[in-house]
Structure formats: C-alpha cells, structure tokens
C-alpha cells in the first residue's frame, strides 16, 4: 500500500464524523431548498386526512413566536449554530449516531437561517390535517429529529461508550504496570546474579592467591 493511499485513509478516518455530518447536511439542504422552491405559494392536497401542502411565510419562530422579530431570530440562529459547532469541537466521545444527529440539527438550523437572511421569513409548506399543529418544513423536521437523537446519545449511548473506554484504559494501564513489574524483577534478578558472580570470582581469586 502506497504512502499516499495510507495518508488519504488516515485523513478520512480522522474526519469520519465530520464527513457524515456534511453528507447529512447536504441531503437535508437539498430536499429542504428544492421543496421550498417548488412548493412556495402553492396549496394542494397530498395524503387525504394526513397532510397537505399549504404554503405560508413564517416571520417568527416555532409556533410563530417572536413574529416579525427577524433580526432577533437571525442572531439567535447564528449563536445556536456556533454553539453546536463549539460543542462538537470539544466533545471527545463521538460515534456515527452522534454525527447523524448533529448533521440533522445543524443543517436544519442553517436552512431556516438562510430563509430568514434571504427573504425575511421561513418558507413552510407541510400542513398536518389530523392534528392542530403549526405548518412546518423539511428543516424543522431535521431539527426535531436531530434534537431527539442527540438527547438519546447524550443520555444513554455516550455514558456506555465512556464506561467502555474507561475499562479499556484501566486494563491497558494495568497491562503496562504488570509488564513494568515483570521487567523490574528480571533486571533485579540479573543484577543479583551479576553480584553473586562477582563475589564468586573474588573468592576464587582470594583462594588462588593463598
């Protein structure tokens, strides 16, 4: 295997979770922006009794809170995304489940942030007919699913991973300590044998001198 190939593999392995986050983010952004563009301003049935397409422009946040406070929502969204990126930077315990949840969460927040900056509102179009629920979009789904998956990871998955890592680290440190003790005994034994040999040689010289 060439050195270049090894370096490429090491690079992708080092950034494997970031790669997953980017892929998830690109998928969410593609479908969110595409459907917003195609369905903006349209109203049509989809699945009767389940959901329909009903285009709206939301100038507020979830459940239309902070309506017309676009500047505040843009600032909050930027801070939220930066906080997620900083959290991801300093979190050491990660896996693919975590990467998927963060990819959904960050990409969803980014897509709605883009709408607010570009248009001054968020383009929503999914209307649930069987329940009284705010109209939403693909980015909103990504955010909700991302929050749910991240909560599962932090509460249940990450503690198990850290416990496993601690057990492995303890076993490895014990292995090193045991190896050190064995080596120390061997060295001490060799030194003792050497000292005994020196004593024997000295005694032999004394006898020969007599």
Q: Catalytic amino acids?
A: 124, 140
Token pair listed for 119: 């248009």
- On the CB side of 75, CA atoms within 13 Å amount to 5
Q: Which two tokens stand for residue 67?
A: 């309506």
Beta bridge pairs of residue 127? 52
Tell which phi-psi region holds residue 41, choosing left (phi > 0), alpha (psi between -120 and 50) or beta.
left
Residue whose pair of structure tokens reads 């060295």 in the numeric block: 187
Q: What angle do the packed helices 96-119 and 138-152 form, to 10 degrees? A: 150
For residue 154, the Cα-to-chain-centroid distance in whole angstroms is 10
Q: 60, 58, 78: which is closest to 123 by C-alpha?
A: 58
The whole-angstrom separation of Cα 43 and Cα 49 is 15
- CB-based burial label for 61 (10 Å; 0-12, 13-18, 19+): middle
Strand 122-128 relative to strand 51-58: parallel, antiparallel, unpaired? antiparallel
The two tokens of residue 86 are 């900083």
């Amino acid at each position: 295997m060439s050195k270049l190939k090894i370096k490429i593999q090491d690079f992708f392995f080092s950034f494997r979770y970031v790669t997953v986050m980017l892929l998830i983010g690109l998928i969410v952004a593609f479908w969110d922006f595409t459907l917003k563009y195609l369905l903006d301003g349209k109203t049509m049935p989809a699945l009767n009794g389940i959901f329909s397409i009903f285009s709206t422009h939301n100038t507020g946040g979830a459940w239309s809170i902070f309506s017309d406070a676009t500047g505040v929502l843009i600032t909050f969204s930027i801070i939220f995304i930066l906080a997620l990126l900083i959290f991801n930077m300093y979190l050491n315990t990660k896996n693919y489940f975590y990467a998927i949840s963060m990819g959904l969460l960050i990409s969803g927040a980014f897509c709605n942030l883009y709408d607010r900056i570009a248009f001054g509102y968020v383009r929503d179009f999914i209307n649930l007919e069987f329940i009284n629920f705010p109209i939403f979009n693909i980015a909103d789904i990504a955010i909700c699913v991302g929050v749910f998956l991240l909560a599962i990871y932090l509460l249940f998955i990450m503690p198990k991973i850290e416990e496993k890592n601690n057990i492995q680290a303890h076993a490895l440190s014990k292995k090193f300590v045991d190896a050190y003790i064995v080596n120390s005994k061997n060295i001490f034994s060799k030194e003792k044998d050497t000292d005994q040999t020196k004593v024997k040689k000295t005694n032999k010289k004394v006898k020969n001198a007599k």
